[in-house]
Amino acid sequence: MYAAIVIFIFSSLLLICVDAGQPFCCLDVNAFIGSFVPFAVLWIAVACVKLSIARGIGCETIAAESTPWIIVGICLLLASAACLLSFAMTAVDIILPLVKGLLHWTRILCVVVIILSYVAETYWMVLDDLRRWRLEERSVPVFVGEFGTVVGDSTVQWGYLNQVLHDFELDFAYWAVNGRKWHNGVWETENYGLLTYNYSDLSNKNWFDNLFNPTDDI
């Protein structure tokens, strides 16, 4: 998100220098749409890489999700390429309008990234991302493998993960239970551990109850 903000500011400054005070409406429509070509190529490349990785690890669900994105990317590429060709055949000055179009698209996409970075940190977006595992339709138990965080973690992401575990009644293995660890020849406190340093008590009872749900039989 922070990179998108920096890029947005930088492209805005460049646009001020290039635009020379001309409003956005002065930009030729074909030049604006045609300047999307590099982004369409990048769109297709990212979708193809995602598809290749998904098939490489045998995850056909994610692979199936990538195919429509590739099709959309190809459509965008064809449409923007047609506008670019039309503009190139009629315009006298080609470079400057295309540079302006690129800068405008950069700013637009940065705004989209910034918005999505906030939207993605919602419980419903987490659920939408988990739909590929078909948790609602599962006919067998689902076990969430080893995971952990600093005891007392109150971040939004940890809260959503915790809620998903309970909403879908998922069994899981938390790491770690030990309250200390051997590191560089000495015993140190294990910040991820559920127990205290001497194993005599819970390191954070309220946090422990929130993780395991006090109504469950532990």
pLDDT of 72:
92
CA–CA separation, 146 and 197 (whole Å): 21
Q: How much of the chain, in percent, has pLDDT values that exceed 90? A: 17
Position 20 confidence tier, pLDDT thresholds 50, 70, 90 = low
Q: What percent of the chain has pLDDT over 70?
A: 85
Distances (CA, A) of 182 to 9, 90, 197, 199: 47, 72, 12, 14
Position 44 confidence tier, pLDDT thresholds 50, 70, 90: very high
Q: In the 8-state DSSP scheme, what is residue 113? A: H
Average pLDDT rounded to a whole number, residues 4-22: 70
Residue pair 42/123 in contact by the 8 Å Cβ criterion:
no
DSSP 127-160: HHHHGGG-STT-SS--EEEEE---TT---HHHHH
Q: What is the pLDDT of residues 94-119, one digit of tens each?
A: 788 888 888 888 888 888 888 877 76
Domain segments of the chain: what residues? 2-119, 126-212
Task: Judge contact between 11 and 106, C-beta under 8 A.
Answer: yes
**CA 112/CA 213 separation, integer angstroms:** 37
- Residue of 93, 122, 98 lying closest to 33 (CA atoms): 98
Residue 203 has what DSSP assignment?
S
Q: What is the pLDDT of residues 67-82, one digit of tens each?
A: 888 999 999 999 999 9
Number of Cβ atoms within 10 Å of the Cβ of 193:
22
